[in-house]
Amino acid sequence: MPLKIGVLAKQVIDPDMPTAAFSIDATAKEVTVPSTIPPVVNGFDENAVEAALQIKDSQEATVTVISSGPSFALDVMKKPLSMGADELVLIQDDGFKNTIDSFFTARLLSSAIEKLGGFDLIICGRQASDWDNAQVPLGVAELLGVACISLGRKVDVTPNSVIVEKIIPDGYEVVEADLPALVTVSNELGQPRYPTLRGIMAATRKKPTIWSASDLDLDAASLEPRLKLHDLFVPERDQICEIIEGDDDADSARLLALKLREAKLI
Amino acid sequence: MADAAGILIVGDVIDGQLGSTSKELLAAGRQIANNLNESVSIALLGSSTETAGTQAIESGADIVYLVNNPALESYHIDFHLAALKSLVDEISPRIILMGRTAEGRELAPRLAFRLGVGLAQDCLEVSIDTSNQTLLANRPVYGGSAVAVVSCEQTPQIAAIRPKAYEPLETDSNRSGETVSFPVELDTSIAKTKVTNVVKEESEGVKLEDARIVIAGGRGLGGPEPFSDLQNLADILGAGVGASRAAVDSGWVPYSYQVGLTGKTITPEIYITVAISGASQHMAGCSGSKVIVAINKDSEANIFKDAKYGVVGDWETILPAFTETVRELTQD
């Protein structure tokens, strides 16, 4: 039996867009971006796709990418397919606008996972670059009752277990768990592979499975909002920078050192 | 839990002493407890936590729960989760405050899910709307480009607070408090993960989180070699050396150097950045620095918006001259 790997991925606003393009609709309490800046697959989720594909490189495995959201840019979400993933499942519903609610998202994704018959291994990015919640993967593990290892920088599987190098503040731990398990990965896993031309061609032909909320087994109580958003604003920065200018760069450097000494900072 | 009341802090104990995160959480908890007119309790998991318990009372706790079981001796997520769940079920707190530390990053979301409630993640500030006893949490989103104010809809309301967002209170050895022993039953078969090895990759010299001065380099350094120049400067100043994610991703220095949203949170007196552009994700880890100094060749770089002092120019010329002058000045 090939190893069944699921990857959870999110479509996000491009975090590398120019700062000037970032604005907030205060009434809707939403971030708005110009339509000229396309969304992207969350960076850490691309690391998760890479981790899954590395396993697939060395053994028989299938990789299914699952995402939920109010709407999708299909060409963007097909990127994991062009990198080498096998299937794409999109859970799309207008009612999913409340993206801040990790509980809601985790509930959706875990029922989609159950509907897909479960996975031996689920790999996720450590957090999404929009709300930085870092909650959905851990929640999915809790809801499914599977082992959970977060912040992986290397993921290996044996026939019955997963072995992960988990980042800790001063190094890493080697952590093992029996399958089925869920692992979150961080950017230390390494640069995700680029789609190949062949991959892009194959992805074009693949049709994603698209479900709405009504296709999933969801009970009302578990979908009640857990969080309320009161306000969303751009923080003010009132720091004024004193630019130290000397005759040349070396002189500026000396003046900077003197300035810091004068201010008793060094 | 209609009769839920009080604030529960999930504490940390390091070598038998109360951790700095606990002290910061106690300061936050004390503030909101006074608004609510309710008590602050702290959970200390493990064994030999009595000393830390006394320190917790001196730092603002009214009640200390010594949650003990041999399985809690060292940190294990499954045991810690189960023990906390037992305590929460028993005492029904209105609010739970946790630290968004290496362990808290995992513990806080999983506890919230296990309890079926929401979590305000990575908060910089918490306050109380006294009209409805709601915890309002300010938390950066979009890598720090925006701030959201959120509240939890169910009880207990849980917030994970970013390390160093709060200053600990002055310790007061005259404060009184109650210590409650809370033994828990744990089935050791619930452990789903096992740590088989630990590898330390600590950066050389001064520990970043404790350093009074931090010097950090970014993508603009162009390679690993300049980090030894940063280290030379750091040695003169007794400073720690950090890096941006770009430098870590390039493999120039290990992850333990990384300052930022997904790395370390530091609050030095002075943070000297060399060739760091200052993306909001980086600033999320250092915005608590008292003074930021920027050396960058791009006068438009974001870092100058947060820096107090800046030099626009080429670090290859600036760094040696700066280091030399610092050496002369500090020899006096």
Query: Which of the four pLDDT bands, split at 50, 70 and 90, describes residue A98?
Result: low
Partner-chain contact A227 B118, CB within 8 Å: yes
Q: Which residue of B has its CA nearest to A244?
A: B311
- Residue A178 pLDDT: 98
The pLDDT of residue B204: 66
Mean pLDDT of B279-295: 93
Could you tell me the CATH number of the domain that includes residue B295? 3.40.50.1220
Over residues B163-192, mean pLDDT:
95
* Neighbour-count burial for B111-146, b at 16+ CB within 10 Å, e otherwise: bbbbbebbbbbbbbbbebeeeebbbbbbbbbbbbbb
Q: Does residue B226 share a domain with residue B185? A: no
> For residue A114, is pLDDT > 60?
yes
Q: Is B133 left (phi over 0), alpha (psi -120 to 50) or beta?
A: left
Q: Closest Cα to residue A65, out of A10, A7, A121?
A: A7
pLDDT at B2 > cutoff 70: no
Burial grade of A198 (CB within 10 A; 0-12, 13-18, 19 or more): exposed
Interface contact flag, B200 A170, Cβ < 8 Å: yes
Q: Are A148 and B110 within 8 A, CB to CB?
A: yes
Determine which of A17, A23, A33, A142 to mutate to test the interface with B (most B C-beta atoms within 10 Å).
A142
Residue A143 · residue B113 · CB < 8 Å: yes
Q: What is the mean pLDDT of chain A?
A: 94
Hey, are the CB atoms on B141 and A237 less than 8 Å from each other? Answer: no
**Which residues of chain B does A264 touch, with a Cβ-Cβ cutoff of 8 Å?**
none
A142 and B114 in contact by Cβ < 8 A?
yes
Per the CB < 8 A criterion, the answer to whether B210 and B163 are in contact is no
User: Quick check: is B203 in a domain?
Assistant: no
pLDDT at residue B75 is higher than 60:
yes
C-alpha span between A27 and A31 (Å, rounded):
11
Cα distance between residue A198 and residue A200, in whole Å? 5
How many Å apart are CA A141 and CA B111, to the nearest integer? 12
B158 near B118, Cβ under 8 Å?
yes
Chain A: residue whose CA lies nearest to B306? A239
Q: Using CA atoms, how far apart are residues A139 and A145, in angstroms rounded to an integer?
A: 9
A250 with B316: CB under 8 angstroms? Answer: no
B10-27 exposure pattern, b = at least 16 Cβ within 10 A, e = fewer: bbbbeeeebbbbbbbbbb
Measured between CA atoms, the residue of chain B closest to residue A191 is B249
B174 plus B226 within the same structural domain: no
Structure tokens at B134: 């709601």
Asked if residue B120 and residue B220 are part of one domain, the reply reads: no
Is residue B200 one of the residues assigned to a domain? Answer: no
B184 lies in the same domain as B218: no
If you write DSSP's letter for every residue of B147-192 in order, what string do you get? EEEEEESSSSEEEEE-TTSSPPPPP-TT---EEEEEE----GGG--
CA of B165, closest CA in chain A: separation in Å?
Answer: 16
In this prediction, residue B203 carries a pLDDT of 62
Q: Quick one: closest CA in A to B262, which residue? A: A186
Q: Per-residue pLDDT averaged across B307-321, rounded?
A: 97
pLDDT, averaged across chain B:
95
For residues B295 and B274, the answer to whether their CB atoms sit within 8 Å is yes
Which of A88, A53, A60 is closest to A2 using CA atoms? A60
Question: Is B284 within the bounds of a domain?
Answer: yes
Contacting residues of B for A187, CB less than 8 Å apart: 245, 249, 262
Q: Please provide the DSSP assignment of A229-248 as one string.
A: EEEEEPPP-----EE---SS
Size of interface A-B (CB pairs under 8 A): 257
Contact at CB, B199 and A171, closer than 8 angstroms: yes
Question: Are the beta carbons of B321 and A250 separated by less than 8 Å?
Answer: yes
Give pLDDT tens digits for B105-145.
999 999 999 999 999 999 999 999 999 999 999 999 998 88
With a CB cutoff of 8 Å and minimum separation 6, the contacts of B189 are none
CATH number for region A3-223: 3.40.50.620
The complex's ipTM?
Answer: 0.93
Look at residue B298 and tell me whether its pLDDT is greater than 50.
Answer: yes
Cβ-based contacts of A146 with chain B (< 8 Å) = 192
A111 has pLDDT over 80: yes
Contact B329 A139 (CB under 8 A): no
Dihedral, CA of residue B23, residue B29, residue B33 and residue B35, to nearest 10: 110
Tens of pLDDT, residue by residue over A3-21, are 999 999 999 999 988 878 8
For residue B39, report the phi and psi dihedrals to the nearest 5 degrees. -95, 160
Cβ–Cβ < 8 Å for B95, B128: no
B64, B87 contact by CB (below 8 A): no
Q: How far is A202 from chain B (nearest CA, A)?
A: 30
pLDDT band at A99 (very low <50, low <70, confident <90, very high): low
How confident is the model at residue B332, as a pLDDT? 66
Q: Is B282 helix (H, G, I), strand (E, B) or coil?
A: helix
Chain A residue with the nearest C-alpha to that of B191: A147
Does residue B140 lie in a domain region? yes
Residue to mutate among A224, A240, A248, A252, with most B CBs inside 10 A, is A252
Q: Is residue B2 part of a domain?
A: no
> Which residue in chain B is spatially nearest to A263 when comparing CA positions?
B291
| B316/B319 Cα distance (integer angstroms) | 6
For the cut 60, the answer to whether the pLDDT of residue B1 exceeds it is no
CB contact under 8 A, A168 and B102: yes
- E-assigned strands of chain A? 3-8, 11-12, 23-25, 30-32, 40-41, 61-69, 87-92, 121-125, 147-157, 161-168, 171-178, 181-185, 209-211, 227-233, 242-243
Q: pLDDT per residue over B179-219, tens digit each?
A: 999 999 999 999 999 999 999 876 667 889 889 999 999 99
Residues of chain B neighbouring A163 (CB-CB closer than 8 A): 196
Chain A residues inside the 8 Å CB shell of B262: 126-127, 186-187
The total of other beta-carbon atoms located within 10 Å of residue A38's CB is 13
Query: A180, A181, A151: which is closest to A165 by C-alpha?
Result: A151
CA distance B173 to chain A (A): 33
pLDDT at position B32 is: 96
Residue B92: how many CA atoms within 13 Å on its side-chain side?
6
The pLDDT tens digits for A185-202 are 999 999 999 999 999 999
**B chain contacts of residue A19, beta-carbon cutoff 8 Å:** 145, 280, 302
Query: In terms of residue numbers, what domain contains B42?
Result: 7-190
Q: At B48, which CATH number?
A: 3.40.50.620
Tokens 């290397």 sit at which residue? A154
Encode pLDDT of A33-75 as tens digits: 999 999 999 999 999 999 999 999 999 999 999 999 999 999 9
CA distance to partner chain B, nearest, from residue A206 (Å): 32
Q: Are residues B229 and B312 in the same domain?
A: yes
Confidence at A238, pLDDT banded by 50, 70, 90: confident
Examine residue B62 and state whether it is found in any structural domain, yes or no: yes
What are the tens digits of pLDDT across the range B60-71? 999 999 999 999
The full set of domain ranges for chain A reads: 3-223, 236-266
**Mutant choice from B119, B127, B152, B272 vs A, greatest count of A C-beta within 10 A:** B119
Residues on chain B touching A186 (C-beta within 8 angstroms): 262
Find out whether the peptide bond into B156 is cis, omega within 30 degrees of 0: yes
CB contact under 8 A, B309 and A142: no
Q: Are residues B74 and B173 in the same domain?
A: yes
Contacts of residue A73, defined as CB under 8 A and 6 or more positions apart, other chains included, come to A11, A38, A39
Report the alpha-carbon angle B31-B33-B39, nearest 5: 135
A112 three-state secondary structure: helix
pLDDT tens by residue, B85-97: 999 999 999 999 9
